[in-house]
Amino acid sequence: MPIHADIVVLPGDGIGTEIVAATLPVLEAVARRHGHTFAFHQHDIGGVAIDRHGVPLPESTLEAARKADAVLLGAVGGPKWSDPNAKVRPEQGLLAIRKGLGLFANLRPTKPHPAALGASPIKSHLLEGVDILVVRELTGGIYFGDKTRSETDATDLCRYTVAEIERVVRSAARLARQRRGHLTSVDKANVLETSRLWRDVTNRIMREEFPEVTVEHQLVDSMAMHLLSKPRAYDVIVTENMFGDILTDEASMLAGSLGLLASASLGDGKVGIYEPIHGSAPDIAGKGIANPYATILSGALLLRHSLGLEAEAASIEAAVSAALDAKVFTADLAAPGQAVSTTQAAQAVIDRLP
């Protein structure tokens, strides 16, 4: 059945404007083929919002996102706003919009494409058959805890509640049940009290609600090693905020390029934020060479999780895969002299849509 969807578009900073601009025609092409109508509403976030509004997340942006069916985001940040001691920073906009929309689970799939295996620093034979989904908790932990700073010391409080752990573990377990039935929970329970609570709650949820899903526990330091040495051993990985932030960037090395990895930030409702996992890449901004595939694949996740359009999402993923099979590579993947532009890569996806 054809649908109408209102999508808030947040290009952000750096290459964010370029990769989002390349993705919208792909979504429009899918809409035309299936009789849907997508209305795109552009707003500011990040550094550009600081420059224009004095804050990284204007109230108008948050209100528009709350009313929308989904949010497509590019990237935020850049050298202009990179002072870590600044009171107002672009990244605060991301934290605020996730909190404002009640998003608590960040999904980051990693499934290396055969054509891109050579671009990864990991040996190809370790990457064949890898299909991992990391679920990172987004609202708790050390990023949101009370902070202090004096001339002689500083503190960051790491805090988790039972409810925060329960809801993200349930989300991860449901996904594991739909996949290969294996959940790996990552913590630091040998040292941290928050991790011991995390492990206890995870065991209870899995025992009482998901007995058919196999669960294992890994300490975050050993997980960092196993993720590169035996990535095929993992299906769904669930972990707390900071550990997830670090491990998902590490997992990006499995795919060969940050430009291939999408993400979805979800809550209890249908509205989610969909974005590539990479940053604003100011060193290549404005050159038209950024890889749009991660943003396009984030658009596929948007169709799947917020709009319930599974066939349409799968068609985008198939088209990206076909473009990679044809070695339509941007500069991050291509051999010297063989790279295509951002817009050419996006057009290659549109040309291969069923």
- Mean pLDDT of all residues in 81-109: 92
Domains 1-105+258-354 and 121-255 belong to one CATH topology? yes
Q: How far apart are CA 317 and CA 300, in angstroms?
A: 7
Any idea what DSSP says for residue 326? Answer: T
Q: Which fold, 1-105+258-354?
A: Isopropylmalate Dehydrogenase (3.40.718)
Q: Is 83 a catalytic residue?
A: no
Q: Mapping DSSP to helix (H, G, I), strand (E, B) and coil, where does residue 71 land?
A: strand
Pick the CATH number of 121-255 from 3.40.718.10, 3.90.180.10, 3.40.50.300, 3.40.50.2300: 3.40.718.10
Beta strands in the chain (DSSP E): 4-12, 37-42, 70-75, 105-110, 132-137, 147-149, 154-156, 182-187, 214-219, 236-239, 262-266, 273-276
* Coil vs helix vs strand at 345: helix
Residue 264, CA distances (Å) to 1, 55, 135, 275, 294 in order: 24, 24, 10, 7, 11
Cβ count near 137 (within 10 Å): 25
Give the model's pLDDT for residue 249: 86
Instruction: Please enumerate in sequence order all residues whose Cβ is within 8 A of that of 191, keeping only pairs 6 or more positions apart, or say none.
Output: none
> Does residue 249 have an active-site annotation?
yes
Domain boundaries, the chain: 1-105+258-354, 121-255
Q: Is 6 a catalytic residue?
A: no
Average pLDDT over residues 215-240: 97
From 6, 131, 156, 249, active-site residue: 249
Q: Does residue 287 have an active-site annotation?
A: no
* Average pLDDT value for residue range 123-138: 93
Q: What mean pLDDT comes out for the span 23-30?
A: 98
315-338: pLDDT as tens digits = 999 999 999 999 999 999 998 899
pLDDT of residue 292: 98
- The pLDDT of residue 341 is 97
How far does the chain reach from its first CA to its final CA, in angstroms? 18
pLDDT in tens, 235-279: 999 999 999 999 988 988 898 788 999 999 999 989 999 999 999
Which of 170, 177, 145 is closest to 160 using CA atoms? Answer: 145
Per-residue tokens: 224: 């960092």
| pLDDT tens for each residue of 34-86 | 999 999 999 999 999 999 999 999 999 999 999 999 999 999 999 999 887 88
**What is the predicted pLDDT for the residue at 133?**
97
| Identified catalytic residue from 160, 188, 234, 293 | 188
Q: Which of 200, 221, 283, 351 is catalytic?
A: 221
